[in-house]
Amino acid sequence: MHASRESEMARMQDRTRVERKSGRELVFTRTFDGPARLVFEAWTKPELLKRWWAPKSTGVTLLACAVDARVGGSYRFEFGHPASDKPMAFFGRYLEVIPHARLVWTNEESADGSVTTVTFEEKVGKTLLVMHELYPSKEALDVAMAGMEGGMPEMFAQLDELLITLGAGAAR
């Protein structure tokens, strides 16, 4: 009984894969048991996004979620965490929206934010989802990694400040 639960856990953990494809890219893959149009709907309707973007296990709560999933439309997520008095905001714009197939958006909360591309590929009722994050440089991804090491919101805030400084430095 115990062993079978463990093997089930191992299988579950295997379902989301992530790979650093290059210095500036991360690629996530996961298959969902449903057609692409439904998975896409859950990524673009705020009332559905709200229900999965801040899972309980992460300790954060979603304070605000505004999504206008059209080309040029913007989005904004605000999270709260018990260890931080300031909410963390994540925001950007949609660059591409192809219903049931493809979403591309910017991440503008930091000067060195990535561009995220999500594709939805349907095969016999299941959907292969590929999420691709492209950072402006290898350094941007390295800094993101160093900053998120502790995973605490105040470190995100520190990282944001650093990124702003770095952004100013890079512009010189």
- 125/139 Cα distance (integer angstroms): 40
7 or 71: CB nearest other proteins: 7
3-state DSSP percent of the chain in helix, strand and coil, to 5: 35, 40, 25
DSSP secondary structure letter of residue 58: G
**Region near other proteins per CB under 8 A, out of 71-79, 84-92, 103-111, 155-163:** 155-163
| Binder of other proteins out of 80, 92, 147, 153 (CB under 8 A) | 147
Rounded to the nearest 10 degrees, how much is the dihedral formed by the CA atoms of 161, 165, 167, 168? 140
**Region near other proteins per CB under 8 A, out of 14-22, 67-75, 84-92, 115-123:** 14-22
Does residue 112 contact residue 140 with C-beta atoms inside 8 Å? yes
Site of interaction with other proteins (CB under 8 A): 12-13, 15-18, 20, 23, 26, 28, 30, 32-35, 38-39, 41-42, 48, 51-53, 55, 57-58, 129, 131, 138-139, 142-143, 145-151, 155, 158, 162, 165-166, 169-170
